Amino acid sequence: MALKLTAKEKMLLQDQKAHEELCIQKYQNYSNQAQDPQLKQLFDSLAPKEQEHLNSINQILAGQVPNIQQSQQAGQQMPQIGQQGQQNQQTQMLGGTMANQNDSTLCSDMLATEKYVSGTYDTTIFECIDTNVRQVLNHIQKEEQEHGEQIFNYMQSKGMYNPQ
């Protein structure tokens, strides 16, 4: 049975689609701009996850509920920082280099983007009638939060983010 979406659901899902497209574009572009290989790897690992989210949104817009069981995986853990990371952290704390400042800006932008996108899923979830669609969107939102956590952890490990 095809999923029937309300006009409001369609509008909100179109917004989420645009957000996911932007995330994919940013992660791909920022991966090319990142100086730290670890950050490049992080951005490269998150872009395909955003593509999965986009695919799920497109399926819902096409009237189908995606099977999230196929794509459910535990959040990817960040590799250990190691000596290079400790050096970067020290450099950042001493005023940083242009590369570190650029990487910090990229991370700050992506963290803000992930916070925003996660928040917009709240409204979309609450406006959806179908329980299965809500579960898919809730799953996507959880992954968005995990992406933010990975960026936060990277930033904290490099001395770019120091929660008070």
- For residues 162 and 5, the model is more confident at 5
The domain spans of the chain are: 7-62+85-157
CA 114 – CA 57 distance, rounded (Å): 17
38 — pLDDT class (breaks 50, 70, 90): very high
Of 49, 66, 54, nearest to 144 by C-alpha is 49
* pLDDT computed for residue 4 by the predictor: 94
pLDDT digits (tens, 9 = 90+) for 67-86: 886 544 444 444 444 434 44
pTM for the predicted model, two decimal places: 0.82
100 — pLDDT class (breaks 50, 70, 90): confident
| 84, 80, 72, 108: CA torsion to nearest 10 | -50
pLDDT digits (tens, 9 = 90+) for 113-123: 999 999 999 99
Provide the CATH number for the domain formed by 7-62+85-157 in this structure.
Answer: 1.20.1260.10
